[in-house]
Amino acid sequence: MHHCVHASRYDAATWRAELIPTEQALLAAAGRAGAVVVFPESLYAYGRVAGPMTEDLPRSASSGKPGIRTELLRARAASATPTVSVAASDFFGPRVLTSHAGERLASAILSGRTLRVVGSLDQPHSFTYVPDLAAAMIRAASDPALHGSFLHAPTGPALTQREMATAFAEAAGVPLPRLGSIPAGALRAVGLVHRDTRELAEMSFQFTAPFVLDSRHSEQRLGLEPTPFDTAIRETVAWWRAREDAAVSA
């Protein structure tokens, strides 16, 4: 069983009210059915890290949205129902909309508008190609030896946000638009009066310093490798072009 739902808002209070009871009910039902539950997971529970994130690092963040992810992971570990959590970094790929490398990036580059990213344009940041996460979840569900594990989805070498934008523009055959950044301090200031911006500011540390996912150990356990980046970015751009064409002809 793959549990791929999320909360209705991006804030800790909503996550606590919705995700914790939902997962408890799901684990109970799956246990009665004798099923394993595979969860897509974020890297939030690692909190602030110095160096690449590996599976042996503590996942013990204790406040805000990261703290909720820690609680969920502990509840899964304590459950009698077998689970696997497959953690990924920020998504990109076909059908990826609400992501830092999703609709905001694609629409700006394809239309030639200025792209403003959260944090730094030039800090290394891992991006996970969504089909690679899906492949890892499917493999984990089918292999009892992986049940009870916390795995990292196969993820290629970290890129800067500038490099991601440049690769997208090159694959689309369009000029790279102007690039800018939104400093964490600006997010915090706006967040004083705007709830959604405040929630985004909480996680801005992921974009102001290196945020690198090391998936090599999990790749060995899964028998999988990340899709080559050139292929992944080409398939991503092809999907966005098809989406644009469908909107024009509708």
What does the pLDDT read at residue 170? Answer: 97
Distance CA 177, CA 166 (A): 9
Q: What's the pLDDT at 22?
A: 97
Residue 154: C-alpha distances to residues 91, 149, 207 (Å): 12, 15, 20
Question: Could you give the percent of the chain with pLDDT greater than 70?
Answer: 99
Does residue 192 register a pLDDT over 90?
A: no
* β-strands 115-118, 127-129 pairing: unpaired
pLDDT digits (tens, 9 = 90+) for 193-211: 677 788 888 899 999 999 9
Mean pLDDT lowest for which of 60-74, 145-159, 195-209, 222-236?
195-209
How far is CA 207 from each of CA 26, 118, 169, 238, 245, rounded to the nearest angstrom?
A: 33, 6, 21, 27, 32
- Assess whether pLDDT exceeds 90 at residue 93: yes
Q: First CA to last CA across the chain, in angstroms?
A: 36
Percent of the chain at pLDDT exceeding 90: 86
Residue 23 tokens read as 């997962």
pLDDT in tens, 115-169: 999 999 999 999 999 999 999 999 999 999 999 999 999 999 999 999 999 999 9
The helix or strand, by DSSP H or E, that contains position 152, with its residue range, turns out to be: strand 150-152
Q: What is the DSSP letter of 44?
A: G
Alpha helices in the chain (DSSP H): 12-33, 64-78, 103-111, 130-142, 161-172, 184-191, 195-202, 205-208, 216-222, 229-249
185/75: higher pLDDT: 75
Q: Which residues contact 96 (CB under 8 A, 6 or more apart)?
A: 102, 103, 130, 236
Task: For 25-44, give one letter per residue: b (16+ CB within 10 A) or e.
Answer: ebbeebeeeeebbbbbbbbb
Residue 192: what are its φ and ψ, rounded to 5°?
-65, -25
Residue 245 CA, chain-centre distance (Å), reads: 27
Predicted pLDDT of residue 245: 84
Are 105 and 168 contacting, i.e. CB atoms less than 8 angstroms apart?
yes
Residue 63 burial (CB count, 10 A)? 11
18-29: pLDDT as tens digits: 999 999 999 999
CA distance 138 to 158: 24
